[in-house]
Amino acid sequence: MNSSFHTSYKLIVAVIALLAVQVSYAQEEESTIGTEVVNVVKAYTPTIRDAFKVKATPQLNDSITTAKKKVTYSIFSVPVASTFTPAKGKAAVVKKAKKEKLYDNYATLGFGSFTSVLAEFYSNFQISRTEDFGVFLNHNSSQGGIDGTVVDDFFYDSRLNLNYGARERDLTWRADLDAKHQVYNWYGIPEELKELQGPADSPLFTEDFDVTHSYLTAGLNGSISLKDSFFKEATGMVRYFGDDLESTELRAVVAPTVEFPIAGELITTKLSVDYLSGSFANSFGSTGTEINYSFLNAGINPSLVILRDDLEVKLGVEGIVSLDTENSETDFFIYPKIAASYRVAGDYFIAYGGLEGGLIQNNYHDFAQENPFISPTLIVAPTNKQYDGFLGMKGKLSEALSYNLRASYASESGKALYQHNPYSQSGNNFGQNGYENGNSFGIVYDDVNTLGVFAELNFDVNANFKMKLNGQFNSYTTDTQTEAWNLPDLQASLFADYQITEQWFAGVNLFFTGERQDLVFSQDPVDILTPSSIETLESYFDVNAHVGYRFNNRLSAFARVNNILDSNYQKWLNYEVQGLQGMVGATYKFDF
């Protein structure tokens, strides 16, 4: 057994020696050491080994030690008497306004000086939940009586309106039928002609001399608007206007509006077609010479509104083709339509400005409404308003006071101006027509530039008191005419209404108009076309007031006083107005 063990031992030692020789030989063969990449999978985090801490309390060897003194304390509570007793909360009392009953109908009747009559009637019928029908009738007249007139000076103004409307879910439309009858007199005979003798050696101009003329208007107006459609709305109008001297005029206007999205923005485009045609039986001073006019205007006005926080910008342009069919002439116009506003300080200061223009289609109807003493012998043509640039600011000075200030400069080509007509253009036809006696007005056209300044204040103190004050100053520059005839340099107005008590109410209206100029022709029948002078019409101040009393929800009475200063001013050359005027009347509301 020992012999076998020694044999095994020797064998193992021999194998180990052989492996050692083999390793030593391999190291000698590979004399260079290669590189190796070591990936660290955990960051080295050294730690501090706990140190030995002395836990025993050191002993002080001071010769003097101070012992802690025990402190004892207590709270001395004293009651405090209080007489304060909190009041119970009580809601503020809000004065609840009494709900006023609204009536569908009313009638007004008034009588005043100069044998004046005022009558109004309004009625509304609710046909269904979405349909209604209304009737409005108005009459205003006076028998005249102005001091110094030698011919009739009465007037009548009667109007009738019938309207029908419907409000559907996605559609709203309305139609109006208007009829109007007006009667006036060319009573502005110049002083130097009032004593003109007639064929029988008696004054030519008396109440028997016919200076009466009348106007008749009939029109149909309509509007329609749609929701959730590219076709937004449209308006239309057809109107006939004529007089008792064989003058006629027809006007038709259609103006639809559409919206299209382009490049993420909404483009609003307004289209318009305006047709006007009319005729006058005579020209001034020449009986039987007919005057005809006819225009067709078609326009397109695309615009884009940009809203950025406090900034609002409207960018647009309008193109119009105007065809003068009577003279076979065609004109093309392009106008800017730009406006912008910026809230500098919220509602307290808003700056705004713009540059706009347009074609103004003058017509006989509008001339007669502004100046009822024009002659039916006019040359009618459109006005090219090339541009009107304006800058302004508006806002609130307080919760009860708002303001608006604006400066503008406009250039108009062919602006219509009222000019006084001469006595007659036919030396042997004195008084043949009621308007050829230095008592009517014609139209002249000129290129006019206007520099204007406008200011307005609105006082909204409370529900019982409201007042508005505004003024407009204009400076005119003309091209061929000496003056901008009959255009005032200054106009101002004030409106105020005051609810004194639940029953009493009152108000005032004040108007100021500055000086105007007109051209006076020679009254010599041999030399009637020669201008003799420029007449300046004095400025005037017109003060009007009214007061009323409500007996109940149905019945109220009123009193009005016009031209309180009793000023016989001339609104138009040789046309004095009535002096102090008074009227009393009543209004009654009811339901059928």
pLDDT (tens digit per residue) in 117-138: 999 999 999 999 999 999 999 9
Q: pLDDT band for 82, please (50, 70, 90 cuts).
A: low
Tokens representing residue 17 in the block: 């020696």
- Burial label for 421, CB within 10 Å (0-12, 13-18, 19+), is buried
> Quick count: other Cβ atoms within 10 Å of Cβ 188?
22
The predicted pLDDT at position 25 comes to 43
Reference 433, options 443, 421, 445; nearest CA is 421
The predicted pLDDT at position 24 comes to 44
Give buried/exposed letters for 143-171 (b at 16+ CB in 10 A, else e).
ebeeeebbbbbbbebebbbebbbeeeeee
Is the model's pLDDT at 541 over the cut of 90? yes
Select, from the ranges 78-87, 329-338, 421-430, the one with the highest average predicted confidence (pLDDT): 329-338
By percentage, how much of the chain surpasses pLDDT 70? 80
Q: Which residues pair with 581 in a beta bridge?
A: 562
- C-alpha to C-alpha distance for 318 and 330, rounded to whole angstroms: 17
Tokens representing residue 196 in the block: 């003109």
For residue 364, the 8-state DSSP code is H
Average pLDDT over residues 341-360: 96
CA angle, 116 then 119 then 122, to 5°? 165
- Least confident piece of the model among 246-255, 426-435, 580-589: 426-435
Residue with tokens 């027509």: 433
- C-alpha to C-alpha distance for 374 and 517, rounded to whole angstroms: 17
- C-alpha to C-alpha distance for 218 and 235, rounded to whole angstroms: 17
User: Quick one: how far is CA 584 from the chain centroid?
Assistant: 34
- C-alpha to C-alpha distance for 453 and 474, rounded to whole angstroms: 7
Residue with tokens 């730690």: 47
The predicted pLDDT at position 294 comes to 98
Q: pLDDT band for 31, please (50, 70, 90 cuts).
A: very low
Decide which of 207 and 107 is more confident: 107
- The whole-chain average pLDDT of the chain stands at 86
What are the distances in angstroms from CA 356 to CA 241, 334, 346?
Answer: 30, 10, 26
Average pLDDT over residues 72-79: 60
pTM comes to 0.81
Render 375-423 in DSSP notation, one character per residue: -S------EEEEEEEEEEEEEEEETTEEEEEEEEEEEEEEEEEEEE--S
**Inter-residue contact 361 to 384 (CB < 8 Å):** no
Q: Which amino acid is at 570?
A: Q
What is the length of the chain?
A: 592
The CA dihedral of 367, 369, 372, 374, to the nearest 10 degrees, is 10
- C-alpha to C-alpha distance for 478 and 537, rounded to whole angstroms: 19
- C-alpha to C-alpha distance for 163 and 135, rounded to whole angstroms: 7
**Inter-residue contact 591 to 104 (CB < 8 Å):** yes
Is the model's pLDDT at 6 over the cut of 70? no
Average pLDDT over residues 473-492: 97
Q: pLDDT band for 44, please (50, 70, 90 cuts).
A: low
The predicted pLDDT at position 375 comes to 96
The CA dihedral of 380, 385, 386, 391, to the nearest 10 degrees, is 170
> Quick count: other Cβ atoms within 10 Å of Cβ 443?
20
- C-alpha to C-alpha distance for 254 and 29, rounded to whole angstroms: 110
CA angle, 263 then 264 then 266, to 5°? 100
- Phi-psi region for residue 332, left (φ > 0), alpha (ψ -120 to 50) or beta? beta
Is the model's pLDDT at 11 over the cut of 80? no
Give the distance between the most distant pair of CA atoms in the chain.
190
**Inter-residue contact 511 to 542 (CB < 8 Å):** yes
Q: Is the dihedral of CA 347, 352, 357, 362 positive or negative?
A: positive
Select, from the ranges 400-414, 430-444, 518-532, the one with the highest average predicted confidence (pLDDT): 400-414
**HEC profile for 246-280?**
CCEEEEEEEEEEEEEEECCEEEEEEEEEEEEEEEE
The predicted pLDDT at position 29 comes to 44
Instruction: Strands of 309-398 (E only): list them.
Output: 311-324, 329-343, 350-360, 383-398
Which strand (E) or helix (H) includes residue 535? Answer: strand 531-537
Tokens representing residue 344 in the block: 């500098």
Q: In this structure, are strands 504-513 and 401-420 parallel, antiparallel, or unpaired?
A: unpaired
The predicted pLDDT at position 18 comes to 47
- C-alpha to C-alpha distance for 298 and 555, rounded to whole angstroms: 50
Is the model's pLDDT at 72 over the cut of 80? no
